[in-house]
Amino acid sequence: MKKTIDIRSDTLTCPTEKMREVIANAEVGDDVFGEDPTVNKLQAMVAKILGKEAALFVVSGTMGNQTCISAHTIPGGEVICEYNSHIFNYEGGAPATLSGVQLHPLMGKRGIISASRIEAVIRPPDHHYPHSQLITLENTHNRGGGSVFPIEEMKAIYKLAQKNNLKVHLDGARLWHAAIATGISLQEYSRYCDSVTVCLSKGLGAPVGSVVAGSEDFIDKVHRYRKIFGGGMRQAGIIAAAGIYAIENHFERLHDDHRRAKELAVELNRLPGIIIDPEEVETNLVILKMEVSRHSPGEWCKKMKQEGILMFPFGEDRVRMVTHFHITDNDIDTVIDCFKKYW
């Protein structure tokens, strides 16, 4: 049978045989009592990798971001974020529901916003205004096409935040990819934020979970919100083991995903009516713009599905593809061939 090439998302990866083995053999305990040795090991490991005092295993990236927003703010506050960010678009309006804060989105360029733009919207201390309390950044940026947030800009934003008594949270669901793409360490990226969320279930390929990191005091607060939001887990070592395995074995290989994404972009950009700047494909996301008079994204994705290739329509004139560890060089060739044949 022909293999389905599922290139819709890097969340589609399934645990490998080896990963299933470490899951089966994981040492476990009750993590609500703080007694799961595998969870504790994962948390210590991620805290170290990110250069933070402490870390906490959470169910999802959304729970990571939202527990941090709750821990950083008080109701009536305002969170400055980017217009296309995950926190603004894909977390169900959680900041209003769970933390009683409002979001102040700024339109960035491929998800990147500057310190000077942020400075212009920090509220003066006047009772009319919501209180600016937190800035959230996303690195790499999902809707920005996997763009890497420049470290110099992060540095400037962190400095601005400190000057104005604001906190910075980094949604680093794909921070792994930023580090691989630039060679800048995860620790260096985490230096310019007060808290950070990283996902284990995307490029790294673990089945479940994210980790939040920050200072000891901060993580203590996050721990309480995790409980309140229903995220206390018991023998979670079962899934934490997969996370440890993923970090140890699937981090460096992200280079391959990036190379394959770049190759897709270079080849598809040659086709008339498809626009994607290969220079802008910095990591594993490929979002191409298409001339809709030839094919609409929905219709194109249907056509590709008949050929056994799954991709996502992304807005009215775009299609998204994401490379991940089930996608091989051969698969990339097949995708390119299909575009050439049917476009």
Ligand X SMILES: *Cc1c(COP(=O)(O)O)cnc(C)c1O
**DSSP 8-class letter at 214:** E
> How does DSSP assign 90-115, residue by residue?
SSTTHIIIII--EEEEE--BTTB--H
Considering the rule CB under 6 A, would residue 61 count as an interface residue with ligand X?
yes
Residue number with CB closer to ligand X (111 or 237): 111
> How does DSSP assign 139-205, residue by residue?
SSBTTTTSBPPPHHHHHHHHHHHHHTT-EEEEEETTHHHHHHHH---HHHHHTT-SEEEEESSSTT-
Considering the rule CB under 6 A, would residue 171 count as an interface residue with ligand X?
yes
Residue number with CB closer to ligand X (31 or 171): 171
Interface region with ligand X, contact rule CB under 6 A, candidates 54-62, 146-154, 304-312, 331-339: 54-62
Nearest distance from C-beta of residue 123 to ligand X, angstroms: 26
Angle 165-167-94 from CA coordinates, rounded to 5°: 130
**Starting from the edge strand earliest in sequence, which strands make up the sheet with 167-172, in order?**
54-58, 210-214, 195-199, 167-172, 131-138, 77-82, 102-106
Among 13, 73, 136, 142, binds ligand X (CB under 6 A): 142
Among 62, 147, 283, 323, binds ligand X (CB under 6 A): 62
Considering the rule CB under 6 A, would residue 138 count as an interface residue with ligand X?
yes
Q: What would the two tokens of residue 107 be?
A: 């339109």
Binding to ligand X, residues 221-240 (CB under 6 A): none
Nearest distance from C-beta of residue 331 to ligand X, angstroms: 22
Considering the rule CB under 6 A, would residue 166 count as an interface residue with ligand X?
no
Among 86, 110, 226, 250, binds ligand X (CB under 6 A): 86
Residues that bind ligand X (CB under 6 A): 60-62, 86, 138, 142, 171, 173, 199, 210
